[in-house]
Chains A and B, each alone.
Chain A
Amino acid sequence: MIVLDPNGEKVNLMALNVGPTHPATHHCVRLLAALDGETIVAGVHEIGFMHRGFEKMVERGTWQQVIPYTDRLNYCSAMMNNIAFCRAVENMYGIEIPERTKVLRVIVNELSRINDHFICVAAAFQDLGGTTPFMYAFNPREEIMLIWEKLTGARLTNSFARIGGLYRDSYDGFEDDVLAACKSVEKALKDLHACLDRNRIFLDRTVGVGKISAERAISYGWTGPCLRATGVESDLRKDEPYYDYETYDWEVVVGTQGDANDRLQVRLAEIEESVKIVRQALKRLAPGPVDIVDPRIRVPAHKLAYQDMEALIGRFKSVYEGIRVPEGEYYCASECANGELGFTIVSDGSGHPYRIKVRSPSFAHVSAFNELVEGLTLADSMATLPGLNMIAGELDR
């Protein structure tokens, strides 16, 4: 199209579709860019290619049946989502979960965060043409995946948390596996830093690219590592602590520039902090029950159902009717790998959720995407996107 630019000069712009399925968009997002040569002068983007009606589907099932759906939100750190959801419902019940469950949830949370951040950084480097860091990051990730396999039976969309407890206790040798994973994570971090920190090509491509100011990021509702990269010290684990996060010794990582490089470096530094938390949590892991004892909330153990009448009734009722969450409305947020994952829950006191609205961090991040890339070259826009760690599962729900 031919346009007059703000100075009144005639320019011939090309409208180019990037995506929906483009290798560098990772998932499905479409950017329609008006290009002047190689520079994006204006862009509009479209989402919703993976919209599958999460919020409509969950209204049809019971409260427990929501949990596997939440795994599909941010599938790079699936268990964090169902821990966040279970926490929201537990708060509505006003119940306190056992100490062992808290610690196990912290370990699972932090290992998931490590996984998620590794994927983000590795994929970002892959998009810029570097395949080696991808392998460095995926070795420890595989170790964590093997822990997930042993723990839950699944690799990707694994669900572990249950309302009022956990799917099951950890297996024998869990602590040793986690410790070994921590070691290889630290080794991989060293390798990654050696690859990225002083890499001329990488720095040229990412420093000062896709910059956003702290005020603008806050206005766009950015949370998590992306907001912290702009220098805002905001982390729900410190600000509104849950699961005793405030008693662990760790730091909130902040960046300074808010550019693509900062967003990746903040993630790498957060992995380091997460390893610290995991190591401390392992020391606190004492034997004990993982489920609360209340058949109205947490189903009685399977083996009890063969011997105990009450347990049989409890299992039957909680499967067929579902647990009855107290009537009311509530917004509860947890710090997930990408930022603040919130659930606005409306309960009418029946066995089915009346309405669950997911506040997904990716939605806020991606809404700023066209503003971030305007003025950049097309190639730089693809260096910006992976740093936002867009996950279509939680973006489109």
Chain B
Amino acid sequence: MESVIDILESKFGAKRDEKAKWDACVVVPKEYLHNAVEFLKNDPSMQFDMLLDLAGIDYLTYPNHEGPRFAISYAFKCTKKPGSRVRLKVLVSEADLKVPTITDLYASANWLEREVYDQYGLVFTGHPDLRRILNHVEFVGHPLRKDYPAQKRQWLSTTDFLIPELEKRLEDKGYRIVQRSKEIMPVEEEYLEGSIRE
């Protein structure tokens, strides 16, 4: 594990994460994130072929915290070498919430990045379909941020329409939409009349 950290330190200007006392974790500068992940995945000595998890962290109320407010922890593992794992961490400041996407490298990154976007409002540039995933389409704000009150309630009334996403999926597969069916066209007013929203 030490060698992985050393290589990442020398190649991508990464730094060992002092907070990680029980597993291997390095902090990678945001601009090198995509390169570092690509290296981890494709280099024959690394072969971290599985992206397990993305965990957003908001350090707003963390005692004595210095540095950017947000962080994302990427957990990787290698299925070929049992027991080899590594975590990458990127720090994201409130002024610039953009993070490069890694959806082109791992299929699991698609939903995982959507979840971080949903819960923390971090924007993944280049993500093909950056929408909310766990929270409702009408939800305002990002609930896992430390300044979002846990007791706050929101009125949510419509269903997620999903037709634009379906059309995009069809177009990705080589289909071309000629005519949309009338029954499924959304009419905003109708939705709103049916709800009790003020």
Chain A complexes with chain B: yes
Contact partners of A1 in chain B: CB under 8 A: 167, 177-181, 184
Contact partners of A177 in chain B: CB under 8 A: none
Expressed in whole angstroms, the minimum distance between the Cβ of B87 and any Cβ of chain A is 6
Contact partners of A2 in chain B: CB under 8 A: 177-179, 181
Most chain-B Cβ atoms within 10 A of its Cβ — which of A42, A363, A396? A42
Expressed in whole angstroms, the minimum distance between the Cβ of B98 and any Cβ of chain A is 21
The answer to whether the Cβ of A243 comes within 8 Å of any Cβ in the partner chain is no
- Assess whether B22 is in contact with A92, with CB atoms less than 8 Å apart: yes
Our pick among B19, B73, B108, B135 for the contact of A364 (Cβ within 8 Å) is: B108
The answer to whether the Cβ of B39 comes within 8 Å of any Cβ in the partner chain is no
Our pick among A44, A46, A238, A367 for the contact of B82 (Cβ within 8 Å) is: A238
The answer to whether the Cβ of B12 comes within 8 Å of any Cβ in the partner chain is no
- Main secondary structure on A side of the interface with B: mixed
Most chain-A Cβ atoms within 10 A of its Cβ — which of B23, B53, B132, B179? B53
The answer to whether the Cβ of B197 comes within 8 Å of any Cβ in the partner chain is no
- Assess whether A331 is in contact with B53, with CB atoms less than 8 Å apart: yes
Please encode chain B, from 155 to 198, with 1 for each CB lying within 8 Å of some chain A CB and 0 for all others: 00000101101110110011111111100100000000000000
Known: A47-B134, A330-B23, A344-B53. A55 touches B144 (CB 8 A): yes
Our pick among A4, A92, A234, A240 for the contact of B79 (Cβ within 8 Å) is: A234
Expressed in whole angstroms, the minimum distance between the Cβ of B146 and any Cβ of chain A is 8
The answer to whether the Cβ of B136 comes within 8 Å of any Cβ in the partner chain is yes
Contact partners of A57 in chain B: CB under 8 A: 150
- Assess whether B150 is in contact with A240, with CB atoms less than 8 Å apart: no
The answer to whether the Cβ of B68 comes within 8 Å of any Cβ in the partner chain is no
Expressed in whole angstroms, the minimum distance between the Cβ of A394 and any Cβ of chain B is 12
Query: Which A47-69 residues have C-beta < 8 A from chain B?
Result: 47-48, 51, 53, 55-57, 59-60
- Assess whether A43 is in contact with B169, with CB atoms less than 8 Å apart: yes
A349's closest neighbor in chain B, by CB?
A: B63
Query: Which B3-45 residues have C-beta < 8 A from chain A?
Result: 17, 19-23, 25
Expressed in whole angstroms, the minimum distance between the Cβ of B141 and any Cβ of chain A is 12
- Assess whether A34 is in contact with B166, with CB atoms less than 8 Å apart: yes
The answer to whether the Cβ of B130 comes within 8 Å of any Cβ in the partner chain is no
The answer to whether the Cβ of A32 comes within 8 Å of any Cβ in the partner chain is yes
Most chain-A Cβ atoms within 10 A of its Cβ — which of B17, B56, B107, B136? B107
Our pick among A48, A60, A227, A239 for the contact of B135 (Cβ within 8 Å) is: A48
- Assess whether B73 is in contact with A41, with CB atoms less than 8 Å apart: no
B175's closest neighbor in chain A, by CB?
A: A3
The answer to whether the Cβ of A221 comes within 8 Å of any Cβ in the partner chain is yes
Our pick among B20, B51, B174, B175 for the contact of A330 (Cβ within 8 Å) is: B20
- Assess whether B134 is in contact with A46, with CB atoms less than 8 Å apart: no
Expressed in whole angstroms, the minimum distance between the Cβ of B39 and any Cβ of chain A is 17
Our pick among B56, B107, B108, B178 for the contact of A4 (Cβ within 8 Å) is: B178
**How far is A327 from B59 in the complex, measured between Cα atoms in Å?**
13
Count residues of chain A with CB under 8 A from any CB of chain B.
67
Query: Which A77-101 residues have C-beta < 8 A from chain B?
Result: 91-92
Expressed in whole angstroms, the minimum distance between the Cβ of B30 and any Cβ of chain A is 18
- Assess whether B52 is in contact with A342, with CB atoms less than 8 Å apart: yes
- Assess whether A240 is in contact with B83, with CB atoms less than 8 Å apart: yes
Expressed in whole angstroms, the minimum distance between the Cβ of A5 and any Cβ of chain B is 6
Contact partners of B173 in chain A: CB under 8 A: 6, 41-42, 374
**How far is A397 from B53 in the complex, measured between Cα atoms in Å?**
14
- Assess whether A220 is in contact with B108, with CB atoms less than 8 Å apart: yes
Contact partners of A283 in chain B: CB under 8 A: none
- Assess whether B176 is in contact with A326, with CB atoms less than 8 Å apart: no
Known: A32-B166, A53-B143. A363 touches B179 (CB 8 A): no
**How far is A216 from B132 in the complex, measured between Cα atoms in Å?**
24
Expressed in whole angstroms, the minimum distance between the Cβ of A329 and any Cβ of chain B is 4
A14's closest neighbor in chain B, by CB?
A: B181
Contact partners of B46 in chain A: CB under 8 A: none
- Assess whether A331 is in contact with B108, with CB atoms less than 8 Å apart: no
Give the 6 A-B residue pairs with the shortest CB-CB distance, closest first: A239-B82, A221-B108, A6-B174, A357-B55, A359-B53, A344-B55
19 cross-chain CB contacts under 8 A: A3-B177, A4-B178, A48-B134, A56-B144, A57-B150, A91-B22, A218-B49, A329-B17, A330-B21, A331-B55, A342-B52, A342-B53, A346-B19, A346-B57, A348-B63, A355-B55, A359-B53, A363-B111, A370-B169
Residues of A within 8 A of B (CB): 1-6, 10, 13, 15, 30, 32, 34, 41-44, 46-48, 51, 53, 55-57, 59-60, 91-92, 216, 218-221, 223, 227, 232, 234, 238-240, 326-333, 340, 342, 344, 346, 348-350, 354-355, 357, 359, 363-364, 367-368, 370, 374, 396-397
Known: A216-B107, A374-B173. 17 other contacts (CB 8 A): A2-B181, A44-B162, A48-B136, A55-B144, A219-B106, A219-B108, A331-B23, A331-B85, A333-B52, A344-B53, A344-B75, A348-B63, A350-B63, A354-B62, A355-B55, A357-B55, A357-B73
Residues of B within 8 A of A (CB): 17, 19-23, 25, 49-53, 55-58, 62-63, 73, 75, 79, 82-83, 85, 87, 106-108, 110-112, 119, 132-136, 143-144, 148, 150, 160, 162-163, 165-167, 169-170, 173-181, 184
